Structure 1
Amino acid sequence: MQRLAGAMRLVRFRGAGGPEPRLGLEEGIGGDVVDLTAAEPGLPRSMRAFLESGPSGLAAAQRALDSGRHRVPRGTVRLLAPVGDPQKVICVGLNYRDHCREQGARVPAEPIIFSKFPSAVTGPFDDIVHPEESSEVDWEVELAAIIGKKGRHIEEPVALDHVAGFTVANDVSARDWQGRNGRQWLLGKTFDTFCPLGPALVTKEAVADVHNLRIRCSVNGRLMQDSSTRQLLFPLPQLVAWVSRFVTLVPGDILLTGTPPGVGVFQKPPVFLKRGDEVQCEIEELGTICNKVV
């Protein structure tokens, strides 16, 4: 099948070239990496700055991909979160029909928005640090959209023009803090390492239908969440338009779009993560992240 122009799997990585993060292109899920920093030294090393460069940055990445050079074996690199320095991490609650049914919650009339601090972002295969302050740490596989074009008061018909692509996220949640003192959502969501992200920023041209992707989460090999982005209550264009009514969206901003049923707090009895557990989150066409709890 012919690859569409602009269809890319953008990554950040560390490798044999030194400790500093580099930009790259993943050649398919789990494939080798094209070292963009070596191929195009003028490109920024920050994904956020790369996205800010717009079409010129994407054209440079396309040249590197087409050149057939600067391939790095996958086994020699460590993938990092695709965006390491987002200005904002915006999250959506109760955005899956089946998740609302799971907890007997009323379907919201408008998107429920909260946030994480950027310091919660960690890599696709890095450890999740179980905080001493919580005994109820939970998993939430989520589709994440990465903003690629600045905008405010964005209209729904053009909202996806402001999205660069998509990635896999785990909205790790400390349920005891999330429900504490009148619902401390921010504190329960934003402990360090509570936003594993990756493995790649998959540009929207590379995704057949972002609203029809299988989404799953396993804990220690046991499938806990298994749904489809068809279940989203508020699709991406509506979410982007809604959020942009209140804040200016800028390149590199991360928008987590909600989780399907199967989280630990609604198991009978509830199940929470403990040190030594391994959490694997997967979205069709985007890839898999896997994080150990320490």
Structure 2
Amino acid sequence: MRIIRFKRSGGQQPALAALTAEDTVYPLPQLDIQQLFQQAAEEGVTPLAWVQSWVHDTDPLEQKASELSLDVPVVAPEVWAAGVTYERSREARNYEATGGKLDATTFYDKVYDAERPELFMKSTAARTVGPDDVMYLRRDSNWQIPEPELGLVLDAGGNIMGYTVGNDLSCRDIEGENPLYLPQAKVWKHSCSLGPAILLAGAVDDPYQFEILCRIERGGEVVSEGTASTGQLKRTFTELVSYLARDNDVFAGTVLLTGTCIVPPDEFTLQAGDVVEIEIKGIGTLRNAMQVLTEAPAQ
């Protein structure tokens, strides 16, 4: 069972709905996924059980999900991300940091093998966009790529309540110049996208069997494509969440991106007009077009 938010006409607040495997949409009474988590907890059931019970007694919408304009599925107060959780990510970070001298040992090797994972703040609700929304490219970077990732949707207790697709847009040149520039390489207007749905955790048998596909199109042609599996992760989801929650407030609806294993060729950089599609089977396809941020955000 998946959860979506879809846009309504007339300036109404987006609506929450359950989505079945048959693409049938059942409207939910809650305004957001956080309220769903809370109500299920108050009634002593899992979100999946609550939704299944509601769907059983509710009529579906006439429209299919493909006919709706989807919004970001969770208004995440914070989006965090884990770095260097895959071998391929370590190789890419070493390439950036050493100018292509892959035989050199760097701090990325150290964090890959360390007990403590790399975690960093990626985005806030105002900086995060949803399916088919525009993502912005930084004006002061010449080497930018998407980072397709599985996102963990957490409740206030740090429990994994669901899974979504995330695009952690990143500037390889800025991060490679100096690791202290990481926030600038990761965080700017519309540099993060989530969607198209949240797959409730109770519906997932093995979260280490997710298959991830990333495709980049330019002018209608595929210019980069790669696949990966969460089974290639170096760390467990429980381990990553435990460090995020350590001496920290975890707000309901927080998303933790778990790292990427799909990196385009080193000579590749995103351009305005490129379209990035990230598909995780069982969750859906997150699609975003790229634009250059030509004007600075209003102060």
Q: Structure 2, unaligned stretches of length 5 or more?
A: 95-101, 103-107, 292-299
Q: Which residue number corresponds to residue 95 of structure 1?
A: 85
What SS does the corresponding residue of 2:14 show, helix, strand or coil? strand
- Alignment partner of 1:193 out of 184, 190, 201: 190
Whether contact under 8 Å (1:16, 1:76) holds in the other structure is: no
| Aligned partner letter, 2:117 | P
**1:176/1:262 Cα in 2 relative to 1: closer, same or farther (>3 Å)?**
closer
Q: How many Å apart are 1:121 and its aligned residue?
A: 1.2
8 Å CA contact 2:4, 2:18 repeated in 1: yes
State the Cα deviation string for residues 79-133 of structure 1 (Å, max 9, x = none).
Answer: 111112x232111000012332454552331311111231331102211122333
**Which residue of 200, 203, 218 maps to 2:200?**
203
Instruction: Tell me which moved more, 61-70 or 188-197.
Output: 61-70
Q: Where does residue 297 of structure 2 map in the other structure?
A: none
Q: Provide the rounded CA distance (Å) in 1 between the counterparts of 2:50 and 2:237.
A: 28
**What pairs up with 1:1-294 in 2 under 5 angstroms?**
8-16=1-9, 19-28=12-21, 31-36=23-28, 40=29, 43=30, 45-55=31-41, 56=43, 58=47, 61-73=51-63, 74-84=65-75, 86-101=76-91, 103=94, 104=102, 106=109, 107-109=112-114, 110-118=116-124, 119-151=126-158, 162-180=159-177, 182-220=179-217, 221-263=222-264, 267-268=265-266, 270-294=267-291
TM-score (norm 2): 0.80
Aligned Cα RMSD in Å?
Answer: 2.3
Q: Higher mean Cα deviation, 164-173 or 116-125?
A: 116-125
Q: Would you say the 8 A contact 2:214–2:262 is kept in 1?
A: no
Q: Is the 8 A contact 1:87 1:252 kept in 2?
A: yes
* Contact 1:177/1:183 (<8 A) preserved: no
Secondary structure at the aligned position of 2:73 is classed as coil
CA distance in 2, matches of 1:75, 1:287: 11
- Partner SS, residue 153 of structure 2: strand
What is the alpha-carbon distance in structure 1 between the residues aligned to residue 195 and residue 179 of structure 2? Answer: 32
Deviation of 1:18 after TM superposition, in Å, equals: 5.1
**TM-score normalised per structure 1:** 0.82
Cα distance in structure 1, aligned partners of 2:205 and 2:10: 34
